[in-house]
Structure 1
């Protein structure tokens, strides 16, 4: 069984469809991070394990989900419907097969306007800096990823906000991890949901700020 950590804040409209498409052998763990729309109740009604995290922030939710996961390979994926759970085995494969310590999804927009220019540009700048700092051949600050739980915890990541994915890549590079980047579809979000990062210029600016602080360390 492979656990899938789904950090969640106000994603109730997306959860039924997302959880229904979870492939066999993949167990969702929905990490409710301050939702005000009943996301936790919706997830439980769909049969998912739900944990609640009071500390705000993407990194706080992901870290709590990893702590709650079982040993072995663990995946992380956004809960807003922008990724297809059917592609989880492709992302987890290189880690499960011993070809990489970390696999990340490289977003490929599946529809016009899915990935706004301001968000794509910010991601490209950060990915370029990661390549320069770590030597890793990565092009996306992967919001869909897989690694072994014990390996993730051993990195001792500290960021609990939007800087978490960047800190993970930098720490992986310094640890000498092999990192595989897998193309994944980037889909329109479920109706009624909104990205905390790419949905607005302000959201993107906050994420870049958090990630820049990680780079400054």
Structure 2
């Protein structure tokens, strides 16, 4: 994998090379970067066996570079936090350990949503995010927002949708270019989640 090559370069050729990495299994999202023009995670990207041409590795595009392949994700994580990605309940439970059960069908609705690893590949590939990063929350945050709107255990779906629709920019800056879906290293579909969120808002049926 490309990550192994980068680690070999750092260990044997240039100890100053800076890049993020952790799990090496496509779970943590740390090693996101642009490889041959595609945003992906280096630990899942095989090395091209064709040695006649060089492999180009650059930081995620349209983000402030801290050093080498490390970009500043502060704003990205703040936008993720703003969608309140945790279970919210109105019904009080007897104890903090009370289980909120789901049927198999309810659980299945979360497939394709909860697997996001917050690598930021999708947001860095989104032209709408490039142009409106201060206002548009971006594909990753919106995917997580829809994940909680879709969760049968959460009791704030209507409030979540309304909060995202206020001010127009957070949700409706998406133009359905679908670069996010094309580049996702986990084969998720943030564009579909954003489209579904728009539909819920317009129909008033979260």
Structures share fold, TM-score greater than 0.5: no
TM-score (norm 2): 0.29
Q: Which structure: greater strand fraction?
A: 1
TM-score (norm 1): 0.28
Q: Max radius of gyration: which structure?
A: 2
